[in-house]
Amino acid sequence: MKRINAVIEKAEICRIGDPFLKKPPDLGLAESDALMVTARTVDGRRATATFYLSLKPDGTFEEDALGARAMKAGRRRLASFLKYYKIIEDISNYKFKEKLADLRGRRVEVIAINGDAAIYIPEVIPDDR
């Protein structure tokens, strides 16, 4: 699969109930927010990625919070995305709502799959913490 360069044109945090009529399956009660990232390639393709999380009152996110393995994997997927694209180094101090505008204009990689495009997120190997 060939990776295509793209630029993030939109990033927003919303409550789970805003974009979805029904909460997606496999999300726990703690997952109350969604980070939705949209990128556009040079040839005009649009790719998106949605990350489910629960923000603390101060706007930060805890990667290793308690929860089921699926929820932990989703949190690690978000951390992997942020670290891979060098958006942050220390996820525990990153205030999402304050720094959301910093995501716009960042370069990411997109993978074309059967005519669709998806933002490349490196695989995260789950552990049994």
**Does the reported pTM lie above 0.85?**
no
- Rounded to whole angstroms, what are the CA distances from 128 to 30, 60, 69, 73, 79? 19, 23, 8, 10, 17
Q: Among 22-36, 48-62, 73-87, which stretch is predicted with the lowest mean pLDDT?
A: 22-36
The Cα 28–Cα 101 span in angstroms is 28
Model pLDDT for residues 97-129, shown as the tens digit of each residue: 888 888 999 999 999 888 788 999 988 654 443
Going by C-alpha positions, the residue among 50, 45, 41, 66 that lies closest to residue 11 is 50
- Binning pLDDT at 50, 70 and 90, where does residue 39 land? very high
The Cα 81–Cα 51 span in angstroms is 10
Two tokens at 70? 């699926």
Model pLDDT for residues 53-77, shown as the tens digit of each residue: 888 888 877 666 555 565 677 778 8
